[in-house]
Amino acid sequence: MPETDSAQYPRIYRAVTRKRWYDVTSRRISSAASALRSRDTGLSVLKTVGCSREICLAGQRDCYGEFVLETNRVRGLGLGVVDDEPDAPDFSPNHAEINKIPINPTTFEEKRRAEDLASELC
Amino acid sequence: MNVNHQQPSLGNPPAGLERGEPAAHENVRSSFRGPTLTNVLVPYGYPNRPLAVHTIADLQMGAQVIQVRPTLVVEPPIITDLRALREEEQSTESPITKHAFSMTLELLEYANIILGADLPRTLLAPDGDGGIRIEWFLEERNLRVIIPAESEQAAYVYLRLGRESDIKPFSKSLVIRILRSVILAP
């Protein structure tokens, strides 16, 4: 998959699809926001945002906002930020993915790495 | 005047009476209930004899009816929050599983009993696979309990202190020990 251009997109945005990902009272972000589900290959992000109440660019039924990430800082963690494959059936020019996060980690070392990354991304 | 009556055996009810709707059965599941005033049958000799009276026959055998004083049992807010999380996730593609819910409930009830009002603010979040993430924060300290959706998957505890981290298999006592030593008493 092609690398996302960090000069053009210095920031990427993670849609907040669960209201419990952000605790308003303590102003803390749950690690759940940066943890992969078993069926994920990477963390879905948007390259630009400008959502309104009527239009959700992330295509979500429920969306509560977005977390802002610095593209180069994400790469500095040893992670990749890549665009969708242009010929993929679900291609979106505004969609990118943070990859190289351990997928379905089994060992404690892999789980720890995944949790460390979730901490760094929060 | 309200008339409560049972369904007559004949199709034609007595003149002037209308058939009412049967009362709904209450399905009591929660162990936490509001205040109640209950008449309870107790055996003769209570409280020196075991409380095991359940039927009218017991009453005929010498049991007495006593009135039990109501007690107010309030569900801890964190348990209410857990139930709310399950409701919120009910309509998603991966609802909270029974395993994840009961394991989390067991941990939170245990923590609530041991720590009571000292239990720090607890963040509950769905993991998107039917499991639950439980988290506590204090400045740069973060304790995470990852409860998976199914029993075949192992629950674990992740602790982060600044840039350092550690991960261990889940146990309730470990969570309490870390809460006490890292989050409550820095």
Q: What is the pLDDT of residue B69?
A: 72
Q: How far is A8 from chain B (nearest CA, A)?
A: 31
Hey, are the CB atoms on B125 and A115 less than 8 Å from each other? no
Residue A67's beta-bridge partner residues? A14
Beta strands in chain B (DSSP E): 38-42, 64-68, 123-126, 132-138, 141-147, 156-161, 164-169
What single-letter DSSP state applies at residue B25? P
Of B29, B105, B39, B32, the C-alpha closest to B73 is: B32
Hey, are the CB atoms on B88 and A25 less than 8 Å from each other? no
How many percent of chain B have pLDDT more than 90?
59
Nearest CA in chain B to A113: B165
Hey, are the CB atoms on B144 and A31 less than 8 Å from each other? yes
Least confident segment among B40-44, B92-96, B162-166: B40-44
Q: What is the pLDDT of residue B71?
A: 75
Hey, are the CB atoms on A111 and B158 less than 8 Å from each other? yes
Split at pLDDT 50, 70, 90, the class of B35 is: very low
Q: How far is A21 from chain B (nearest CA, A)?
A: 7
pLDDT at B31 over 50: no
What single-letter DSSP state applies at residue A3? B
ipTM of the shown complex: 0.90
